[in-house]
Amino acid sequence: PFERHQEKMLFIDGLTQRHINVDARNSHSKGPQLFNGLGDDTETIDQYLARGLAAPRPWVGLGSSRQADRNSLIPLNSVDQSGSAVPFLTQPGPAFDSLFAGLEASSAPVERPFEPVLFDGAAAQIREAQSQLRGSERDVLDGYLDSVRHLETQLVMRETFDGSCDPGSAPSGGDTRAQWQQLYDMAATALGCGLTRTAWLCFGGGGNNNDFDMSPTQIGDIIGDAHWLHHIGHQSVPDSRAKQERYHTWHSAQIARLMDRLEAMPNGRGGTVMDDTVIVYMNDNGTFHHNTPSARHPVCVFGSAGGRIKADGRFIRYAYHPDWWAYTDRFMDPSDPDSAASVQQLWNTLSHVAGLPKDDWGIGPSSRERHRGVLEGILV
């Protein structure tokens, strides 16, 4: 799926992750620890970036999980500055209403049948704005409008949303793939229009291990067989590797499509929105509990973030010591040549790229993380 984007990609392997204590060996639903390196109640990297980057919507979270049972909202892997879980929107219709139907409205989802609201309700304001703009500025606005209109049209084409938040069965008017594709489109549109500077898509995780599984109905839409995503990850079902590959290939196609959308939107400076964007794609399960031993995390980075990241088709593998995940600090000294680079250094790097430099993600009195600073090898 990424063939045409090869010169905008960077693959990083070997990034290590030390959970906060020995009781966190099972990495199911340990997303907050992955994204801050500390506990489940400490602000995560996405929330930190959202606070520091001005936008009408500081943060957009979209996703799917078996936990989606009330108001289209689920707590997933993000934690705000107060230590509270940040809700994710799970249904495309309510998400669109919440994000686009009125910026002055509450971010809580609107539970009602979906209908076109934005262009009907804002037609006069849109015409007035168009009349005041010329040249490249008018082109940018038209690009925004085309993107939002495309999204609204796709939603209207689906049958009426019934407000059901159970992703265990295909939503009315489309299968799981259609629902997830619309969430990707929602993220692309929100980023492309400058509605937000930070968007998050999460499929499968959650705050409770019992609710980690995705239903066979959902996953079957993508892998062609009815097995839990959890069981596939543990390779406890037939052809697990092939199913994993189909699942990641499907999501890869959606990310490539998202990049196409952002490349089609002008940034007003002679480039595209994608020129200013960086996308990080990763799995939040990397401890040795999964696919032993895999304390290291592979990470895919797409886009150069305005030329600040060397996303140029390279593959980087950081040194990995086979005993690194042992419950000692033997290999935690950053001066040790066997001490690997960490996920927290990736978050440090992205904070520098965003102009919000931070060098101590995951460094705390109870944390086992000791790596500071950035990953120099991926910066321009």
Question: Token digits for 261?
Answer: 């959308």
**What does the chain come to in residues?**
380
The DSSP call for residue 300 is: E
What is the 3 state secondary structure string of 33-68? HHHHCCCCCCCCHHHHHHHHCCCCCCCEEEEECCCC
Chain segment 296-319, per-residue pLDDT in tens: 778 999 999 999 999 999 999 887
- Between the CA of residue 181 and those of 63, 256, 258, what are the distances in Å? 11, 12, 9
Low-confidence ranges of the chain (pLDDT < 50): 22-26, 68-70, 103-114, 159-174, 288, 291-294, 327, 331
Omega before 293 cis (within 30°)? Answer: yes
pLDDT of residue 311: 93
| SS3 per residue for 124-166 | HHHHHHHHHCCHHHHHHHHHHHHHHHHHHHHHHHCCCCCCCCC
Give the pLDDT of residue 208.
52
Of 255, 259, 182, 179, give the one whose Cα is nearest residue 214: 179
pLDDT for 113: 45
Please report the pLDDT score of residue 308 as a whole number: 94
pLDDT value, residue 179:
82
Confidence (pLDDT) at 313: 93
pTM > 0.75: yes or no: yes
**Residue 280 β-bridge partners:** 301
The partner residues of 177 in beta bridges, in order of sequence, read none
| 83-126: pLDDT as tens digits | 998 888 887 877 887 787 654 444 444 444 445 556 666 777 88
Residue 174 pLDDT: 45
Nearest to 171 by CA among 274, 91, 240: 91
The pLDDT assigned to 185 comes to 92
